[in-house]
Structure 1
Amino acid sequence: MTQVEKILNHIQKNGSITQREAYLDYGIQSFHRRLSDIREMGVRLLPVQKVHPTTGQEYTRYFIAGSKANGKPVKAA
């Protein structure tokens, strides 16, 4: 299974993915390059900025545009 397939499977199963999840779960170091590969395939990704509740650190969670996140439809920008 390719890294792109791993990322897409993770998003389909869990709804979204972060760079940290891709690295820890799958050893993907070139996360943003893989996101570019996914976009080149015609998949629209929706980046959502988040803040970690404990550390206050900002991070980005990636959804597939048009999918459901937290029970609400996600609209592409």
Structure 2
Amino acid sequence: MTVTTPGGTSNGESFAYSDSLPPKLVAVTPQSARTGDTIVIFGCKVNRARSVAFGRRYCRPRLVPCSGGER
């Protein structure tokens, strides 16, 4: 990767970009729940989830868009 400005072009730095990187979990709330409870998962690329597993139990995620200026 390089950056170019009117003053010239920077030295190069290694940089890798991929749309296929796996999701990264940051936080889950609450810390425990029962069947039927709502669980909120925070992380990167979790909006693309097709399934969520709690041990051997799978559930289908329901996407709730963020409000405000989140990206």
TM-score (norm 2): 0.28
Q: Which has more radius of gyration? A: 2
Greater relative contact order (Cα < 8 A, sep 6+): 1
More helix per residue: 1
